[in-house]
Every structure is written in C-alpha cells, then in structure tokens.
Structure 1
Amino acid sequence: MLDAVVVGAGPNGLAAAVTLARAGLSVEVLEAGDAVGGAAATRELTEPGFLHDVGSAVHPLAVASPFFRRFGLTDRTPFTTPEASYAHPLDGERAAIAWRDVRRTADELGDPSWRRLLAPLAGRSSALAETLLTPLVPYPRHPFVAAGFAGSVAAVRAGLAPLSPEGRALLAGVLAHAVVPQPSLAAAGAGLVLAAFAHSGGWPVPRGGSQSIVDTLVADLVAHGGVITTGARVRSLADLPSARVHFFDTSAPDLLRIGGDALDDRYARALSRVRAGGAASKVDFALSAPVPWRDPRIGHATTVHVGGSADEIAAGEADVASGRHPASPYVLVAQPSLVDETRAPAGKQTLWTYTHVPNGSTRDMTEPIVAQIERFAPGFRDTIIASVATTATGIGRWNPSMPGGDIASGGISIAGVLARPRLSTRPWAAAPGMYLCGAAAAPGPGVHGMGGYSAAVLALREVFGIAEPSLAP
C-alpha cells in the first residue's frame, strides 16, 4: 500500500506530492493527460519554435508564495522580472504604466493617490502574502496587515480612493483579473493583492515558460522517490490505488463525483454549492515582430491590460456576469518573448492573450481580440504569422479543473475566499484520508502551490504524526 496518491499533476497537486515525499512517504501522482503541468504547462501551439504557456504566463504569486519561498523556487528556476509590471494603453498616444517603483508610477500618472493606496501594501507584501495565502480562520496570520488590507479593499469598492482617470484605468485593468463585476469587494481584493506585488517583487516570467516551474517540482519529487503516472483518468474511488491518504487537485464537481458517498456530508454539501464563475477564451499568436504599441514604453512590460477606460472595463465585465459577450472586451496580454529569447525564433515574438466570456462559451474570440489590440497598436494585424484559438469550453475540456473555462475553478467572492469550499480551519479535509488540494480549495486560484502544500501539511500532522519537512534545495 502506498502512503499517498495525488490525483492531478497541476502546481497544487505537485506541491502536495513534493511535501509528502520530502517527509519520507511513498507517493504516486496520477495525471489524466499525457503530460504534467495543468495550468502551468508550456507547448508549441502555433508554429515550431514558438513556446506558448497554455495557462498562466506571468507569476507574481509564485515568487510571493510561502510554499515556493520555502522550496527555493527562484534559486532553482530562472525568472526575469521586467522593470514595468504591467501596462495599460489608453486612447491617444500615452499609456499608464505600473513600474516596480511605486513612486515612479505615481509621479508619471501625476496621481499621488496611487502611492497613498499601494505603497503601504507593497511595503508589507511578504506579510500580505502569508496572510492571504494561509487560512484566515480562526484568525489571520498578520492581523494588523489584514485589517489594513481590508480597509484598502473597502475604500476601492466604495470609490473612496480619489484616483485620476489614468489611475482608475490602470487599477481597473488589474482588478479585472478576478473575472467578476466592478466595483465589488472580490475584484478589489484580488486586484489589490496583484497590484501590491507589482510594486514589490514584481511580475516575473520564468525562462522557457511556465513549464519550467513544473519541471522543477517534478525533478524534486522524483529525486525523493515520487512516481508520476500519466494517462490515468480517475472517474471513481475504484480507479485509485490503495493508499493511506488521497489528494485531489480537481474541481469541486469532480471531487463530488469521484468521492460520492465516501465524502463527509457537510463537505459534500459545500462542494455542491460551488458555482462556476466567468470564463476565459484564449488566443495564442506567433508574430513576426513585437506588437507595435502606440506608446513604446509598453515594451518594458510583459503584461498588458487592454480594455480602455475604467468605465469601459466595468461595462464589459458586467456583460460577462450577465451572460453576454462584451462588445468591447477586456483583453489580458502577455508578451514574454520580449524578455525571454527562448520563447520564439530569432526576430519573432510569442504573444499570449485571453478575454473574458460567459461560462461555457463556444465563441472563437480571435477577431474581437485582434481588433481590441489593433485599437492601441495599429499594424498589429500585419505582424500575425499564425494564431490558435481555444474557446471557454475548449479550456474546460483541456483542463477539467476549469469547467466551462472558469480559470478560478469556482466563482470568486469574499464568501468564497473565506469558505473555499467551506468555512473551517481544515478546508482541505473532505473525509478521513481524503483532501481537496487544488484551486477549488483555500486559498484559491493561482500558481502558488499553497493549496497542495497546506493540505499535505495537514495530512502529515493528522494521519502520519509527522512534522512539516524542510523543502529547501
């Protein structure tokens, strides 16, 4: 009998497996696909030599995560952190730029309110990461930091931060990562975290693609005796090898289906209440040249939020929440080959984009995305060598943890963050010997590994009586 079986080889599943293997347990990871990585995989999707991140592309949470800090990720995997964390093109010639230096950002915006809002959060970014990526029940890790953050979230939600139109647009672009209506507490909470990291550790990209993070986890797991089996689809508990504990890096509906009557009744009810959120539709491009942004300073940022003014972005996100495709979509753009020459052939560029659509959408969003980028980068269309579109339903088929294209594996809300999937000091414990460890469990979506790590530490304590192991290289 194995000590532990992990279902799903995404970042959280691998984080759980690494933690368990480091504690000396026998571990097998079962992955339904033909390769590991989940939302952190990298593939040639368009043309030979163009490396595209199939899921997440830019990783502020990875460098801020307590798990990856203990694991020494940045010592094992090379990252490049651009001078500008993200950019936001505006109608006209000029863009708003979120530089790593919060003072420079505020000065260029001509907006001292930007500094007043974000400098305190950026200055406490490590404590903020520890607070928000670990359970908030029964109390947060850093209560004063949590209180200050909650005050900032409330101020943004209530419109009490007197930002300029350029500052409002820059903030709206990062708030839109949550795929929820604006203004809302959920959008403000998710966006302010990312904005704070933008002015502290930055928004780095891993050299060679997000797969580099996965490969580092896999190498550590194998070095400590772990085994990975691909092409192993788990439909019920009968498909699982015998083990003392089982971990599920899956969506809530999948765990409900797999676990069945073996699940704790209250946990099963909590899983049944999880509702899918808004979705993403993705288009990857192979380009003959960099995107010809009107404002060349955008070339300093590997992340670009394309969507116009704050009001325009809010209108588009409201459309998505109402089940409509926006006439003017918000487009999240990553241009990693500007800082990583391994992503594309010499002189060429790899471009990663997605836009928000209603859950389950089957619409190819290539033309709306091209048109929106062309609005701020005339001539973009002429640089396109090839493109590959993945609809929201296609994302769900590729990664069942993202049903209908829901990249957060469950709608984002304040209640959903505190109770993901239920309010508990043990939100990963689904039944004796069974743990939910993916984005559907606390602390939620993102390549941070904390769901898997926290679930594994809980199981080590409860089932094996083993203390948390060292994760250092």
Structure 2
Amino acid sequence: MSEEQAAVVGTGPNGLAAAVTLARAGLRVVLYEAAPEIGGGLRGEALFDSAINHDVCSAVHPMAAASPFFREFDLAGRGVELLRPSISYAHPLDGGRAALAHRSLDATCAALGADGPAWRRLFGPLLRHTESLSSLFLSDLRSPPSSPVGAVQFGLRALRGDPFRSEEASALFTGVAGHAVGTVSGLVGNAVALMLGHLAHGTGWPLPRGGSASIAQALADDITAHGGEFRLGHRVTDLGELAGFPLIFFDTSAREFLSVSRRLLPYRYARTLARFRYAPGAAKADFLVSEPIPWANPEVGRAGTVHLGGTRASMIRQEEMASRGTLGDSPFVLVVDPGVVDSSRIVNGKRPVWAYAHVPNGDDTPPVDLVRARIERYASGFSDTIIEARGISAAAYESYNPNYVGGDIGAGAMTLRQIAARPALRWDPYTTPLHGVYLCSASTPPGPGVHGMSGYLAAASALRRHFKLRPPSLSPR
C-alpha cells in the first residue's frame, strides 16, 4: 500500500495517534503542523530557565494511562515513564482542611471518616470494571458496553450524583467534576467525576517523567520509523492545499475545520459546525518557584493535582458564572507541581508550577495575579517563592493554538447533546460529507483528554471504509 498517501492536519495527541495507525497500516503519511514544533496540547517549553521544562498545556494524564490506544502502543516499552503520585488529587479548604484522594481506595476512605463508606460504595464497584468502563467511555460512544453490569452501575451512580454529607468529601467529588469545564453538577459533571475519580484509585493520575512532550516524541518517533513525514510551521488554510491526498484527517477544532473547508461543505453540515458550542476558557499561569508550594495542610503537597474551588456550592456558582460569560472573584483553579513526583523537574532547587483557571470563553484577563491569589489563599507565602511567572489569557490561548476556541482546551463543550452529536449527528462521527476527509480531534468522540482515541478511531474507520483493513498492531515489538 506504499503508493497510498494520507495527510494529517495537526499534531496533537489525536493527530499523532491517527498518523501512527495509518503509517503502521502501510500508508505514506504527511503531517502538517502550524507551530514550529509538534505536540499540540503535549508541548513543553523552557520558559524561564533553559534547564527547566514547563508543560505549556497538559501536565497530568489519567486518560493516557487508561486509554486502549496507549495501552497497546505501550508507552513504557518506548521509554515513557508514567509517574504516579501516592495522592492522585487533593482539595484544600479554608482553615487548613483538605480532602485527599489517595491512590489507595482504603486510605482515601479511612481519611474521609463518616463519608468513607459512601466513597467506597461509589467507587469500589467501578474499580472492578475499570477496563471495560475505560473502553466504553474512550470509544466512539456508539458501541455496546463489553460489561453491561459495569455500565449500569456507572449510570445509576451518575444519575444520583454527590451522595456525601461532609463538606470535605463533597468538595473532593465535585472538584473532579470541574474537569468537565463549566459543568460540575448534573449528569455530565457526575459522569466525569466518576470516570476520572475511579481512575485515581486504579491506573492513577500520572505525570510523564520529564514532561508531557515525551508522549508526543514517542508517537513521532514511531511515525518517522514507518515512513511518516512532518511539515512544521505550515498552517493549512484551505482544503485545496491537500488536493493530492486521497485521505485527509483534521486534528483541529470544528471551527478550524469549517474555516478550511467551508466552500466545499454542504450548507446544513456547515451550519451545524458553526453552531457547535464551546466551553469556558482556560487562563494559564506558569511559575518558576524556589521551593515546594507551602500548603497550609502539608499533605496537599503530596498530591499530583490540586483543585482549588472551595466548597461544592462555590464551585457550582463559579462554573455557572464562567459559562454565562462572567468572571467571578474565586474561579476554579487546577494546580500541578511536577516536582512532587518527578525530581528531574527540579534543578538547583528551582521547580515549575503549572496552573490554570476556568474563565469565560474569550476572556482576556491576565491570569497570573488571579491564579497566584487563589493559590495564596490555601498556601500563604506562595508569592514569596515565585522567581518568575508568565500568563496566557483564554483569548491569547486561541492565538497560541487555534484549536482552543476562546481558550476552550476541550475543543467543544461537554453537554449531553454534544456528546451524542460531536460535532454533528452522524453514525460515524469521524466522517464528513467530503469523501476521504475525516475529523479526528477532541471535537469528536470521546472528547477531551490525552487518550489518542479520536485519532485512532478515525484512522480505523478510514482503513475499514477505503481498504477493508483492520487496524494494525501498535506494539513496539
């Protein structure tokens, strides 16, 4: 099949996953990337000190650890070490209190006291079905579950939502729902909390040693080993540029795909893409600090991820405000200190701190002071540890990566409608009305996260449709 070619536009994790799958099937793959380096949301950069790498977009990867694509691709076998902190995530509260999601379910339940049994009833049964649940939710969302029992148990819990009495346990659960961005209550928020929450006690919430770019590099190495070619610094602005390719894959937002292809798309499909909704934005802050974050509760310093949102009621209020376009005074903030689990990220005592706040889509507020104040509330003295800082507003994030429309790092709001019709209602969600043209970004199922499944499933669909081929082996051996 060496004479067959495919173009992939965008080298985020999904574009790279699509290219790996296609190249291993024998296609000659050419990847186009507007930025001067590959990776999309996996990119890293030495922002302040040449010896210290900062994760520019994503830092922690529970989906990569659970993903069927990455399980078969075998990151460990390719030299990518996923480091799992003993506390997957933490949620500090005022007065030095904190709720902790240990990797150990037993330790978590013990620490939650009276709410420990409820936490175990919520997550324990899901852990027994974690592989089938991961396969279900990291799929095209159109296939029947391999374990109906696990799916039913998950669904009943998602319908019920937060079953906790204490402020600590309720905040711990709701903080995970915050990863849905804009939706921390209701069925979607509950489902996100259950999926990511149970992984915290299973495959974990790992950080790649050295930073997220190591995942992108492992994918790129496999692509080039199978004849793939990268064309960096080339932004595709019109589909006509790729007229010589029989297969084309877009790892871009629905809006970017519409911009490139509008003149060729049927009116109804183009209108659907134009109406696709985007979530609140992420305003990113990067800090270079001289010591670990001085959390009021020292146990928080053992967590790989920290959610700063206050109580459940506060998080619901702030996320609703961001969804309505209003910047609140206490936005939801995620914080990661990679040095907690990866000593290679600490050089001469200096270490990176990664953080972002949920803000209205397109908001242009400089985020450094906003994020610093949120951290300072639970870690007095943090400001004194800052050596240098840089912020990217939600509006500027779109300039950095056009896939992040208005700063929406998930490439589309996660609503019930947009889960079923992502980005349009089609039985095969990766196909478009244009023959041989596929969409394979987080704007397609299963949605946001570094899992590679959108790219893999789009490539598998194309191989089946055009060549009657099954997906190739992804194993490094």
Q: TM-score, normalised by structure 1?
A: 0.96
Tell me, yes or no, if structure 1 residue 462 matches structure 2 residue 445. Answer: no
Runs (4+) of structure 1 exceeding 6 A deviation are none
With 170-179 and 115-124 compared, the bigger mean Cα shift is at 115-124
| Equivalent residues of 2:53, 2:352 under 8 A apart | yes
Paired position in structure 2 for 1:374: 376
1:447 aligns with 2:436: no
How far 1:392 sits from its partner (Å)? 0.3
Contact 2:141 2:446 in 1 (8 A): no
Tell me which amino acid in the other structure corresponds to 2:204. G
C-alpha displacement at 1:265, in angstroms? 5.4
Question: What count of residue pairs does the alignment treat as equivalent?
Answer: 470
From the superposition, tell whether residues 397 and 248 of structure 1 become closer, same or farther in structure 2 (CA, over 3 Å). same
Q: Provide the rounded CA distance (Å) in 2 between the counterparts of 1:177 and 1:274.
A: 20
**Secondary structure at the residue paired with 2:461?**
helix
Partner Cα separation in structure 2 for residue 448 and residue 167 of structure 1: 28
In structure 2, the residue matched to 1:41 is 43
Cα drift, residue 467 of structure 1: 1.7
Indicate the residue corresponding to 2:275 in structure 1.
Answer: 273
The answer to whether the aligner puts 1:105 opposite 2:96 as a matched pair is no
Q: State the AA in 1 paired with 2:449.
A: G
Find the residue that maps to 1:440 and give its secondary structure.
Answer: coil
Does 2:173 match 1:168?
Answer: no
- 1:229 positional shift: 0.6
Distance 1:18 1:163 in 2: 47
**Aligned equivalent of 2:148:** 143
8 Å contact from structure 1 (residues 185, 413) kept in 2: no
- The residue number in structure 2 matching 1:51 is 53
CA pair 141-272 structure 1, distance change in 2 beyond 3 A: farther
Q: Secondary structure at the match of 1:311?
A: helix
Matches within 5 A, 1:215-364: 215-240=217-242, 242-263=244-265, 267-364=269-366
Closer, same or farther: CA 224–138 of 1 in aligned 2, 3 Å: closer
Task: Report the counterpart of residue 388 of structure 2 in structure 1.
Answer: 386
Could you say what the CA RMSD is over the residues aligned between the two structures, in angstroms?
A: 1.5
Give yes or no for contact 1:392–1:404 (8 Å, CA) kept in 2. yes
Q: Secondary structure at the match of 2:94?
A: coil
> 1:382, CA displacement in angstroms?
0.4
Contact 1:80 1:204 in 2 (8 A): yes
**CA-CA distance at 1:266 after TM superposition:** 5.2
- Of 197, 206, 209, the match for 2:208: 206
Distance between the aligned counterparts of 2:58 and 2:130, measured in 1?
21
Partner of 2:128: 123
Aligned to 2:28: 26
Q: Distance in 2 between matches of 1:61 and 1:241?
A: 35
| CA distance in structure 1 between the partners assigned to 2:470 and 2:36 by the alignment | 34
Structure 2 unmatched runs, 5+: none
**Cα gap change, 1:146 to 1:266, in 2 (>3 Å):** farther
Q: Residues of 1 paired with 2:417 and 2:144: CA distance?
A: 15
Instruction: Give the counterpart letter for 1:103 in structure 2.
Output: D
- Among 404, 407, 424, the alignment partner of 1:405 is 407
* Contact kept? 1:56, 1:210, Cα under 8 Å: yes
Partner of 1:88: 91
SS of structure 1 residue aligned to 2:349: coil
Letter of the 2:296 counterpart: R
- The aligned amino acid for 1:154 is L
User: SS at 2:154's partner residue?
Assistant: helix
1:354 counterpart SS class? strand
1:182 offset after TM fit, Å? Answer: 3.3
Distance 1:436 1:282 in 2: 27
Deviation per CA, 1:37-60: give whole Å up to 9, x if none.
Answer: 001111112333221111110000
- Give the 3-state SS of the residue equivalent to 1:400 in structure 2: coil
Check conservation: 1:63, 1:73, Cα contact below 8 A.
no
How far apart in 2 are the matches of 1:140 and 1:427?
18
Contact 1:134/1:141 (8 A) holds in 2? no
Tell me the CA shift for residue 141 of structure 1: 4.2
Once residues 267 and 192 of structure 1 are traced to their aligned partners in structure 2, the CA distance between those partners, rounded to angstroms, is 33
Letter matched to residue 160 of structure 2: A
1:91-146 CA distance string (max 9 Å, x none): 12231100011121111011121111111122221111100111222534433322
Q: Please give the per-residue CA displacement for 1:192-223, whole angstroms capped at 9, x wherever unaligned.
A: 21101101011000011000000000000000
Mapped to 1, the partners of 2:390 and 2:152 lie a distance apart of: 44
Q: Distance in 2 between matches of 1:238 and 1:451?
A: 24
Contact preservation (8 Å) 2:430, 2:438: yes
In structure 2, give the amino acid aligned to 1:440: S
Q: CA deviation at 1:374?
A: 1.0
Range with greater deviation from structure 2 (365-374 or 17-26)? 365-374
**Deviation per residue, 1:350-380 (Å, 9 max, x gap):** 1000001000011012112111111111111
The secondary structure found in structure 2 opposite 1:470 is coil
1:236 alignment partner AA: D
Q: What is the aligned partner in structure 2 of residue 132 from structure 1?
A: 137
Work out the CA distance in 2 between the residues paired with 1:162 and 1:289.
35
- Aligned to 1:446, what secondary structure does the other structure show? coil
How far has the Cα of 1:180 moved from its partner?
Answer: 1.6
Deviation at 1:283, TM superposition (A): 0.3
Deviation at 1:302, TM superposition (A): 1.3
Query: Aligned partners of 1:208 and 1:304: how far apart in 2?
Result: 20
Determine what percentage of the aligned residue pairs are the same residue. 45
The 8 Å contact of residues 290 and 385 in structure 2, kept in 1 or not, is answered as: yes
Contact 2:9 2:33 in 1 (8 A): yes
Helix, strand or coil at the partner of 2:259: helix
